[in-house]
Amino acid sequence: MSITAGWAAVGIGAATGLAGLTAWAWRTGLRMHRRATDFFDDWAGAPGRPGVRARAGVMERLGHLEAGVADIQAETKPNSGDSLRDVVQLVRDEQAAVRAELATFRGTAGA
């Protein structure tokens, strides 16, 4: 059995196609690997190295966010007068007292 030029061309074409498909799959796999590695580095954090600052992981970042939210919630709930809400209420009460005093003053001045 001898190989004809037609079968040789088919074999070369198939080998070239297979090589191209293998190269494409390899590049795609490397690209996906890099993306997954970047994702997991962001998730777990990365230690500092010369010229690059350390990056906190997702859980550490969420912990900082939760602490910030807790601080904000503490400021919006009334307590013994130290919260922002207590200060706003105090200003509102003082403003109402000044308005009442001003209305009284206007009433006596107009008479």
Please state the φ and ψ torsions of residue 80, each to the nearest 5 degrees. Answer: -85, 15
The Cα angle at residue 21 between residues 16 and 27, in degrees rounded to 5: 125
CB 77, CB 83: distance < 8 Å: yes
d(CA 60, CA 78): 29
Mean pLDDT for the chain?
89
d(CA 89, CA 32): 56
Question: What pLDDT is stored for residue 63 in this prediction?
Answer: 93
Cβ-based neighbour number of residue 29 at 10 Å: 10
Residues 12-26: pLDDT tens digits? Answer: 999 999 999 999 999
Residues 67-104: pLDDT tens digits? Answer: 999 988 888 888 887 788 888 888 999 999 999 999 88
